[in-house]
Amino acid sequence: MSAKTPSQASLPSSAARTPSRKKASGSPVGAPVIGQLIVVSATGEVLDEASKLANLVYGRDYSDRVSMSRAGLPATAVDTLAERLGLSRAKFVQALQLKSSTIERRLSTRQALSPAETDKLYRVEKVLARAAEVLEDEGAAKAWIQRDIRSLGGVSPLSLLDTEAGVDLVMDTLARIEYGIAA
Question: CB of 45 within 8 A of CB of 27?
Answer: no
Residue 10 lies in a domain: yes
Question: CB of 54 within 8 A of CB of 91?
Answer: no
Mean of per-residue pLDDT scores for the chain: 77
* Cα distances (Å, whole numbers) of residue 154 to 94, 124, 127, 148, 149: 17, 19, 18, 5, 5
Query: What is the span of the domain harbouring residue 79?
Result: 6-178
pLDDT in tens, 19-53: 333 333 333 333 333 333 334 444 444 456 666 66
Residue 90 lies in a domain: yes
Residue 1 lies in a domain: no
Number of separate domains in the chain = 1
End-to-end distance of the chain based on CA atoms, in angstroms? 35
> Phi and psi at residue 161, in whole multiples of 5°?
-80, 5
* pTM (two decimals): 0.69
Residue 183 lies in a domain: no
Residue 37 pairs with which residues in a beta bridge? 23
- Residue 45 and residue 38: Cα distance in Å, rounded? 10
Closest CA to 174 of 138, 143, 137, 145: 145
CA atoms lying within 13 Å on the CB side of residue 60? 13
pLDDT in tens, 72-124: 989 999 999 999 999 999 999 999 999 999 999 999 999 999 999 999 999 99
